[in-house]
């Protein structure tokens, strides 16, 4: 491609040089973002399966504390959100083309926020209610670990941090899994349903640390979200839906643990047997 030549327009197949560059770009983006997390998540599941403790008797914490001191814990939590969003910004930057607004092209703007909000709320309900039932079934069958979504001894700063974490998850997963992969894989000649299924499988692997129920649930969620993006051409409703789902899961977790401790409460920590101390 000659210097200064225009990049292929969205949906248009790239030439051989551009295909090679985009292939490297996709692998690099996945290696430093959701692909890396998916690999670690799968390895975490393998370790859980190899453990002598049954899978259903293990737990996974989604928003663990990062430091014993409150001030430093808050600082590290905020920085973690900031650097995760920086990776999202990097992906959006890669989608940027001269004369084209990347945010508008993927539908991550407020031009139709009323409609996006309504669709996001509806989508959250469609995904959230069956997802909660699937989690309960997975716990009952012993194929899903206990997911500790938030600390039970919440302080005043916990809710804002959890909302930030939910927004981070919504932007990270939907912008990369959906908007970015759709744009790049389409240019590489992939058809839409191959992209949807591949993205959904990657999303399932991303949540594998939670057990097999989470893999199935997130795979189905990926198919639904991919179909919606293909139909609407906007990622904002997906970000809204994902963020709402995580806010309900994170902030509502203490209430759910109190109402249904057998499903949502963390496993009790074994108390060591007292031993006699010599005088």
Per-residue pLDDT at 1: 41
- Between 202 and 53, the more confident residue is 202
What per-residue confidence (pLDDT) applies to 277?
A: 43
Percent of the chain past pLDDT 90, that is, above it, reads 57
CA distance 219 to 226: 10
Q: Which residue has the higher pLDDT, 209 or 151?
A: 209
Residue 70, pLDDT above cutoff 90: no
Which is it for the CA torsion 58, 62, 66, 68, positive or negative?
A: negative
| Buried/exposed code over 141-173 (b: 16+ C-beta within 10 A; e: otherwise) | eebbbbbbbbbeeeeeebeebbebbbbbbbbbb
The DSSP secondary-structure symbol of 62 reads: S
Q: Rounded distance, CA 168 to CA 239, Å?
A: 10
Q: What is the pLDDT of residues 13-31, one digit of tens each?
A: 667 888 999 999 999 999 9
Residue 259 pLDDT class (50, 70, 90 cuts): low
Quick check: 177 pLDDT over 90?
yes
Mean pLDDT within 258-272: 49
Query: 149: number of CA atoms within 13 Å, CB side?
Result: 22
Q: Is the pLDDT of residue 6 over 50?
A: no
Half-sphere exposure of 101 (CA within 13 A, CB side): 6
**Mean per-residue pLDDT, 49-61:** 86
Phi, psi of 233 (to 5 degrees): 70, 20
Helix, strand, or coil here: 60?
strand
Q: What is the pLDDT of residue 131?
A: 81
Contact (CB, 8 A) for 77 and 167: no
To the nearest 5 percent, what fractions of the chain are helix, strand and coil?
70, 5, 25
Counted residue by residue, the chain has a size of: 279
Instruction: Look up the pTM and report it.
Output: 0.84
| pLDDT reported for residue 104 | 94
């Amino acid at each position: 491609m000659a210097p200064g030549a225009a990049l292929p327009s969205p949906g248009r197949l790239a030439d051989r040089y551009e295909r090679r560059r985009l292939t490297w770009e996709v692998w690099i983006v996945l290696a430093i973002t959701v692909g890396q997390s998916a690999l670690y998540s799968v390895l975490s599941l393998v370790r859980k399966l190899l453990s002598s403790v049954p899978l259903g008797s293990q737990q996974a914490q989604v928003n663990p504390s990062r430091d014993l001191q409150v001030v430093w814990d808050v600082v590290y939590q905020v920085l973690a959100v900031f650097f995760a969003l920086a990776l999202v910004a990097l992906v959006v930057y890669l989608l940027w083309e001269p004369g084209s607004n990347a945010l508008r092209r993927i539908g991550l703007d407020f031009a139709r926020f009323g409609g996006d909000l309504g669709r996001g709320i509806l989508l959250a309900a469609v995904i959230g209610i069956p997802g909660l039932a699937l989690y309960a079934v997975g716990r009952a069958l012993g194929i899903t670990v206990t997911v500790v979504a938030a600390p039970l001894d919440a302080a005043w700063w916990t809710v804002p941090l959890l909302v930030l974490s939910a927004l981070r998850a919504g932007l990270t997963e939907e912008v990369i899994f959906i908007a970015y992969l759709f744009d790049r894989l389409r240019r590489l000649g992939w058809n839409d349903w191959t992209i949807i299924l591949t993205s959904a499988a990657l999303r399932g692997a991303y949540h594998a640390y939670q057990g097999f129920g989470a893999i199935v649930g997130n795979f189905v969620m990926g198919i639904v979200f991919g179909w919606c993006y293909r139909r609407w051409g906007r990622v904002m409703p997906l970000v809204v839906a994902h963020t709402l789902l995580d806010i309900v899961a994170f902030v509502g977790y203490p209430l759910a643990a109190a109402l249904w401790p057998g499903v949502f409460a963390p496993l009790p920590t074994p108390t060591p047997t007292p031993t006699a101390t010599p005088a």
